[in-house]
Amino acid sequence: MNKNFNSKKRFIFIPLLVIAFLFLVGFLVMFLWNQTLPAIFGFTTITLWQAMGLFFLCKLLFGFGKGPKRGGPPWRKQHINKDLSGLSETEKEKFQQYIYNERCFWDRSTYRTKGDESDQNNNNL
């Protein structure tokens, strides 16, 4: 009987908690907007409903927080997977090597572009 009662509580408590959380986030967005943007840029103040709509729009555009490696808009990953699905294994390896050699400079001691290399070779002559 107690387990059944707890499940009935959950059907009432969880939706109320979600609604309260959405209003809290909307109020936070409204407060931050109304305290900063009118003073800095001269924008008008917004209402709670506009703040909730702005928050929902940002979540649609920038993703729903799936973590640092999987975040971002939901259509980005689908687009990349669709483009790379037709490649063979050798083409995928060539593509990975190209990305590593041409675009990944964070583990290299110097950052040079192709134009810099040719300029350096011309200066040595």
**Angstrom distance (rounded) from CA 61 to CA 30:** 19
Q: Are residues 101 and 85 in the same domain?
A: yes
Q: Are residues 73 and 56 in the same domain?
A: no
Give the other-Cβ count within 10 Å of 61's Cβ: 9
CA 71 to chain CA centroid, nearest Å: 5
Tokens read off for 28: 């936070």
Domain range enclosing 80: 68-110
pTM across the whole model = 0.49
40-58 pLDDT tens trace? 999 999 999 999 999 999 8
48, 56 in Cβ contact below 8 A?
no
Largest CA distance in the chain: 90
Tokens read off for 37: 């943007």
Q: Are residues 6 and 55 in the same domain?
A: yes
| Structural domain total, the chain | 2
> Is 57 part of any domain?
yes
Q: Which among 48, 62, 60 has a CA at the least distance from the CA of 19?
A: 48
> Is 97 part of any domain?
yes
> Is 118 part of any domain?
no
55-114 pLDDT tens trace? 999 888 887 765 555 555 666 666 666 667 778 888 888 888 887 777 666 655 555 555
Q: Are residues 7 and 31 in the same domain?
A: yes
Q: Whose structure tokens read 């409204």?
A: 30
> Is 7 part of any domain?
yes
Q: Are residues 51 and 33 in the same domain?
A: yes
> Is 88 part of any domain?
yes
Burial of 30: CB neighbours in 10 Å, binned 0-12, 13-18, 19+: buried
